[in-house]
Structure 1
Amino acid sequence: MFGIGGGELMFIMFIALMLFGSDKIPDIARTLGKGMAQLKNATNDIKSEIQKGAEANGFDSKTLTDITGSINAQINQAKENLLGDTPAQLHTFKESIVNDTTAGIAQTKEEIDDITGPIKRQM
């Protein structure tokens, strides 16, 4: 749950108990529960409004699912074309990017050193 373990959760509960006291904790929990329910209801209302708008414009859930599936298929195909199918091709691609970037950084560093060289000597 949110990357929090049992020990951390108990510690947080202990701190909350110490800060607010045992008589305020149920009220706080009730308020948080109501807030979460309102947030869930608002999210469901927004989803239903979007779906109604899509249906009014001629889109149904099957059409939207088909469009989403075709977009995902095109993205996966582009990834395969760009990166290749095998890990060796992917490794070669990554190496070429790293080498190009390293070469560009080294060249830029040399140019900066050439430019700042006379300035450093004058100081």
Structure 2
Amino acid sequence: MNAIAVFVIILCVLQFALDKVILTSDRKISDTEVGKVYNWILIILVILLIASIFLTPMDEPNLIFDLLITFICAYRAFMEWKYNKESKGYIVQLASLIVSILFTIIVFSCWLIY
């Protein structure tokens, strides 16, 4: 559980820092024509994410959590790239995606070793 907390903190700090450095406009994906659908899909994914925390035993790594975080980052990167290219928000989401994939690989490989 501590690894999840560290991962979430790292992801939030990375997201905040890259938002300040990379973003070129204030336009958000929710301001586009697909904003409502985008928000509803994110809400459903976050509910699944929270449920995965409570439904997975504490003595096992929560790979479902890791995969859902990775999927959420990939979904956000795709939607930012597709509907909001000029803000360069997809670069921030791709960085988050890379961090989440690395975290998933590290957790899974550590789980296999021990």
Using the size of structure 1 for normalisation, the TM-score is: 0.27
**Considering only CA atoms, is the larger Rg found in Structure 1 or Structure 2?**
1
Higher RCO structure, 1 or 2 (CA under 8 Å, sep 6+) = 2
Using the size of structure 2 for normalisation, the TM-score is: 0.28
